[in-house]
């Protein structure tokens, strides 16, 4: 297979992401373009710099299309729990029909650190948790003794209210 070059490669990657129904890993994009994964990382950064709505999630790259007819409501919540409770927290959120978009921690040196998660159902959560475990990685909340923020989204405000109610009942929600 011939190596794809520069702008042609980025145009092709953009087309692939726009047509994808699910996240695509950098490794898969690299195989398609016959380049290294690092070249794909650089390409994604160049495309983001051109204001293309590409985000890197734990499952791969996603082109975020905004559909005005499918409006989602968002809310930022503050949570506190142990690493062992993270899976239950995520299941609680997605079981209400919400999407857990990211995690945010306030690091004393680096400031705000934001990592995209983008899980919307139990399978997404299981895959995310499995990847954390396989990599023997820590959740970012370890940097802040368990305290972290999430941006969650859902089709209705009632679903966001339900997420908050259930997280409050489980003792995961931090409130004033």
pLDDT confidence bin for 167, thresholds 50/70/90? very high
The residues with which 75 forms a beta bridge, in sequence order, are 152
Question: What's the topology of domain 6-63?
Answer: Arc Repressor Mutant, subunit A (1.10.10)
Q: What is the pLDDT of residue 107?
A: 87
Task: Look at the chain and count its residues.
Answer: 176
Strands (E), the chain: 54-57, 60-63, 73-80, 99-107, 111-119, 147-154
pLDDT at 152: 96
CATH 3.30.1340.20 fits 68-169, yes or no: yes
Under the banding of pLDDT at 50, 70 and 90, the label for residue 1 is low
Please state the domain extents for the chain. 6-63, 68-169
Q: Please tell me the chain's helix, strand, coil percentages from 3-state DSSP, rounded to the nearest 5.
A: 45, 25, 30
Question: Is residue 2 scored above 90 in pLDDT?
Answer: no
| 162-168: average pLDDT | 97
Mean of the per-residue pLDDT values for the chain? 90
In this structure, are residues 54 and 60 in contact, taking their beta carbons and an 8 Å threshold? Answer: no
Of 65 and 70, the one with more pLDDT: 65
Share of the chain above pLDDT 70, in %: 95
Residues 6+ away with beta carbon under 8 Å from 4: 12, 33, 34, 35
pLDDT band for 119, please (50, 70, 90 cuts). Answer: very high
Residue keyed to tokens 């009632």? 158
Scored b (16 or more CB within 10 A) or e, 59-74 reads bbbbbeeeeeeeebee
């Amino acid at each position: 297979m011939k190596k794809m070059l520069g702008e042609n490669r980025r145009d092709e990657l953009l087309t692939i992401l726009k047509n994808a129904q699910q996240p695509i890993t950098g490794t898969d994009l690299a195989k398609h373009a016959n380049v290294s994964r690092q070249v794909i990382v650089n390409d994604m950064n160049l495309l983001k710099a051109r204001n293309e709505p590409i985000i890197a999630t734990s499952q791969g790259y996603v082109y975020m299309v905004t559909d005005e007819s499918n409006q989602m409501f968002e809310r930022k919540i503050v949570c506190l729990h142990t690493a062992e409770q993270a899976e239950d927290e995520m299941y609680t959120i997605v079981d209400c029909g919400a999407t857990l978009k990211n995690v945010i921690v306030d690091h004393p040196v680096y400031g705000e650190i934001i990592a995209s998660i983008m899980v919307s159902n139990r399978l997404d959560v299981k895959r995310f948790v499995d990847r954390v475990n396989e990599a023997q990685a820590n959740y970012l909340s370890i940097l802040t003794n368990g305290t972290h923020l999430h941006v969650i989204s859902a089709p209705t405000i009632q679903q966001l209210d339900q997420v908050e109610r259930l997280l409050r009942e489980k003792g995961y929600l931090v409130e004033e």
